[in-house]
Structure 1
Amino acid sequence: MLLGIIGAMNEEVIQLKEVMNLLETKEIGGYNFFKGTLLNKEVVLVECGIGKVNAAICSTLLIQEFKVDKVLFTGVAGGLNPEINIGDIVISTDLVEHDFDCTAFGYDYGVIPRMENSTFKADETLVNLAKRVAANNFGSERVFVGTIVSGDTFVASNDKIKWLRDTFKGECTEMEGAAVAHVCYVLGKPFVIIRSISDKANHDANMNFDEFVKLAAQNSKLIIEGMLKEI
């Protein structure tokens, strides 16, 4: 089984790259795909870049060029649920593109016209594994499982937090996960999105992000490694 592991930023993949046994580096379309083994599992690791389009291009290449069997996305996010604190973990049950807006035609926010589904569900087995590993590492009280919302905006507003919670019941917000989920849905690949909270998505979000992004990335790395031991 070949696993695809994606992170949006260097901070989110460098720690995994440093501990993997790298066998091959392949550049496609400006993305560097690192193929090798990690904890005796065959993996392809890649940094997709920030935003939904980058994430969609990269995950499509990962699936089609390398024929990966499952996709794990790891990285950081801003918390929406007021019970979530910096350093906590959110694991996706499903993902929505919160900035998809065809309400002028009578659709709800996040609904993509002429698609059967606009809410992309993660693989239940991968979700349960990620939840168990995260709870073992950080304690169940710091692990949240639910909806992750994605959009091409860095959320740093209490008003936006309220809207995302009221509209989608999102646990956290980020800029790539739903695009990866969308691609995996279309191409028929099981996936899970794992996010460690780097900020609270409020007016302090930019300062908190810079301070805590490396800690959050370390937390995500521990979960990926724990999953690879059992997958």
Structure 2
Amino acid sequence: MKIAIIVPMEIEAKYYRKYFHAGNKEMFGSSVFEHFCVKHNDIYIGLSGIGKVQAAMNLASLLTKVDIDLIFMTGTAGSLQSSIRKGDLLLADSFSYHDAHNTLAGNYVEGQIPGEPALFDLKSKEQAAFADFLQEQGIQYKKGLIVTGDSFIGSNEQKKKINQDFTSALGVEMEGAAFAQVAYHFQKKLIAIRAISDNGDDSANEDFDKFAQKVGAKAAKIICAYIEKMN
């Protein structure tokens, strides 16, 4: 099985090297991926970069060259609900773009790109199996819609507008919908988990790098344990 693990930043990627050893570096497009062989599985670990274009470009570069079976995407997100707090784990069952406003261009809903689905649905048997694993391990998570845009959400005004347009959205981040769109067109299964780093409001600038490292280590532990269990 060929598995891709994509994270936004190197401070998150480094934790996977504790579990996977003797990897080779391979270039796909402008992206460097580390390639590990683990129990007859090929694991490709790379950086998405920050933002939608970087995420789409780097994932597409890999998928045009390697017939990946399953993609894991990890990282952080801001909370859009009062019940979701810093440190909570989100499992995305769908993605949309909070910065796509095309309702005046035709029969489109808020967040929809013309010619694309209204939502990018991630529900699959692979995601269900991963959710079962989280429950078996006693790892609490919330599942639902996450929205994506190219701006860091760090003000109450920004958050209020997104809440108005996407009342059910759990979190907001900068790459997920682009990943989901690429996976949709390549017909690949995507499992996306995000840890809440902030409230998506005026307090959203506190110790981000330190938190990203902490949740990066946790995500690596979870995903690597799951890959071990898959065999």
**TM-score by structure 1 length?**
0.90
When structure 1 is superposed on structure 2, of 39-48 and 191-200 the one drifting more is: 39-48
Asked if 2 retains the 8 angstrom alpha-carbon contact of 1:131 and 1:145, the reply is: no
How far is 1:137 from its partner? Answer: 4.7
Asked if 1 retains the 8 angstrom alpha-carbon contact of 2:75 and 2:195, the reply is: yes
2:36 is aligned to 36
When structure 1 is superposed on structure 2, of 176-185 and 38-47 the one drifting more is: 38-47
Asked if 2 retains the 8 angstrom alpha-carbon contact of 1:129 and 1:227, the reply is: no
Against the structure 1 CA distance between its residues 209 and 136, is the aligned structure 2 distance closer, same or farther, given a 3 Å change threshold? Answer: farther
Residue aligned with 1:205, SS: coil
How far is 1:166 from its partner? Answer: 3.3
Q: Larger helix proportion, structure 1 or 2?
A: 1
Residue aligned with 2:104, SS: helix
C-alpha distance in 2 between matches for 1:209 and 1:177: 18
Against the structure 1 CA distance between its residues 136 and 155, is the aligned structure 2 distance closer, same or farther, given a 3 Å change threshold? Answer: farther
RMSD: 1.9
Q: How does 1:8-87 map to 2 (within 5 A)?
A: 8-38=8-38, 41-87=41-87
C-alpha distance in 2 between matches for 1:58 and 1:50: 11
2:156 is aligned to 158
How far is 1:224 from its partner? Answer: 1.0
Against the structure 1 CA distance between its residues 222 and 19, is the aligned structure 2 distance closer, same or farther, given a 3 Å change threshold? Answer: closer
The one-letter amino acid of 1:148's match is I
C-alpha distance in 1 between matches for 2:192 and 2:155: 23
C-alpha distance in 2 between matches for 1:213 and 1:227: 21
C-alpha distance in 1 between matches for 2:87 and 2:122: 22
How far is 1:34 from its partner? Answer: 0.7
1:217 is aligned to 216
C-alpha distance in 2 between matches for 1:205 and 1:185: 31
C-alpha distance in 2 between matches for 1:49 and 1:39: 28
C-alpha distance in 2 between matches for 1:144 and 1:39: 31
**TM-score by structure 2 length?**
0.90
The total of aligned residue pairs comes to 228
2:132 is aligned to 132
Residues 80-136 of structure 1 show CA distances to partners (whole Å, capped at 9, x for unaligned) of: 121112111000101111111223325332111123x13111142232233333345
How far is 1:202 from its partner? Answer: 1.2
Residues 10-65 of structure 1 show CA distances to partners (whole Å, capped at 9, x for unaligned) of: 12211113421233211233311111135763211101210100100111112121
The one-letter amino acid of 1:129's match is A
2:142 is aligned to 144
Query: Unmatched 5+ residue regions in structure 2?
Result: none
C-alpha distance in 2 between matches for 1:173 and 1:38: 33
Asked if 1 retains the 8 angstrom alpha-carbon contact of 2:109 and 2:118, the reply is: no
C-alpha distance in 2 between matches for 1:22 and 1:97: 38
C-alpha distance in 2 between matches for 1:207 and 1:120: 31
C-alpha distance in 2 between matches for 1:87 and 1:200: 11
2:114 is aligned to 113
Query: Unmatched 5+ residue regions in structure 1?
Result: none
Against the structure 1 CA distance between its residues 98 and 22, is the aligned structure 2 distance closer, same or farther, given a 3 Å change threshold? Answer: farther
The one-letter amino acid of 2:111's match is G
The one-letter amino acid of 1:201's match is G
The one-letter amino acid of 2:169's match is G
C-alpha distance in 1 between matches for 2:203 and 2:127: 30
Asked if 1 retains the 8 angstrom alpha-carbon contact of 2:19 and 2:224, the reply is: no
Percent of aligned positions with the same letter in both sequences?
Answer: 29
C-alpha distance in 2 between matches for 1:39 and 1:213: 29
